[in-house]
Structure 1
Amino acid sequence: MKQRINIKQLEPEAYKVMYAMEKYLLTTDLTAQLRELIKIRVSQINKCAYCIEIHTKDARKIGETEQRIYALSAWEECPLFSEEEKAVLALTDSITKIANHGVNDFIFKNVQSYFTENQIAQMIIAINQMNFWNRIAISTKMFHPLN
């Protein structure tokens, strides 16, 4: 497998903006664990193997369990996730699959019952940031060489 183009090399100023957003996201009220669940879930939906590999490793480093990582694709039926996490994952799914039905009122009101408006804004930014990264990785065929 060969990467089509390397946007980081071709457009380094764009990557500076992306990295600045990542730095900002580290300062938000979202926990590291929640940020990684969002990143993994978005990457699962978009089928971005490159990002799944990165973020499952990152999640393990901060203490996420293998069991929860494996169960993330079935989060709706899984008792391993809290109601707060499920609200965020529903929002994540809705935004990532926005062409399907958008973000319905039930999902938005549910997330509002657990999080402040600022936290919800931060989630929306984090979800969209990860979707952007996925689209770069998928369109350019980024991959990790086998170890």
Structure 2
Amino acid sequence: MRARMNPYAAAPEAIAALRALDSYVKGCGLEHSLLELVKIRASQINGCSYCLHIHTREARAAGETEERVHLIAAWRESPLYTPRERAALAWTEAMTLVAQSHAPEADYQAAKTQFDEAELVKLTLLIGTINLWNRIAIGFQLIHPVAAPAPTN
């Protein structure tokens, strides 16, 4: 696989603007563990290997357990996630798949029970930001670092 282009070199000012937004989101007051869980789940939905590589590593480096990282795709069936995380993950799925979901009232109401209005705006901004990063990585076929080649069988 080869990247289609290097968007960082092609439009550094555009990437700088996205990085500024990302910086705001990182410091907006939402829990770091929640930020990473949302980034992982949106990246799973979008199929972004580049962002999954980054955010699963960042989550583990920040103390997230392997078990929670591995089971996030099945968070609804796992008791490992808090009610606040569940509400955030449901909102992440609704916003990432907004063309199909149209932001269901039940997901919004669940999020409102766990997040105040300002936090819900920040959560939605987080979801939009990771979705934009996913689109850049997927659209330009960015390749995540590879520590070891795939096994041959």
TM-score using structure 1 length: 0.97
Specify the code of the residue in structure 1 equivalent to 2:92.
Answer: T
Structure 1 residue 24 displacement after superposition: 0.7
Give me the identity figure in percent. Answer: 38
Q: Indicate the residue corresponding to 1:107 in structure 2.
A: 107
Q: Could you tell me which amino acid in structure 2 is paired with residue 42 of structure 1? A: A
Q: Following the alignment from structure 2 to structure 1, what is the Cα–Cα distance between the partners of residues 90 and 51?
A: 20
Displaced runs of 4 or more, over 2 A = none
Per the alignment, in what secondary structure is the counterpart of residue 4 of structure 1? Answer: coil
User: Can you list the C-alpha shifts for 1:57-110, whole angstroms capped at 9, x where unaligned?
Assistant: 000011100000000000111100011111110000000011112111111011
* Equivalent-residue separation in structure 2 for 1:108 and 1:97 (angstroms): 14
Correspondence 1:78 to 2:78: yes
Q: CA deviation at 1:26?
A: 2.1
Moved more, 20-29 or 130-139: 20-29
| Amino acid of the structure 2 residue aligned with 1:52 | L
Alignment of 1:30-41 (within 5 A): 30-41=30-41
Aligned length: 147
- The secondary structure found in structure 2 opposite 1:68 is helix
Corresponding position of 1:130:
130
SS at match of 1:113: helix
TM-score by length of 2: 0.94
Question: What's the counterpart of residue 52 of structure 1?
Answer: 52
Distance 1:72 1:145 in 2: 22
Distance in structure 2 (CA, Å) of the matches to 1:145 and 1:86 = 30
The corresponding residue for 2:88 is 88
The AA in structure 2 aligned to 1:70 is H
Post-superposition shift, 1:22?
Answer: 1.3
Aligned equivalent of 1:119:
119
Q: Structure 1 regions of 5+ residues with no counterpart? A: none
Report SS of the residue matched to 2:40: helix
1:7 counterpart residue number: 7
**Counterpart Cα distance in 2 of 1:18 and 1:73:** 26
Separation of aligned partners in 1, 2:11 and 2:131: 19
For 1:127 and 1:83, locate their aligned partners in 2 and report how far apart those are by CA, in whole Å: 18
- Report the AA paired with residue 81 of structure 1: Y
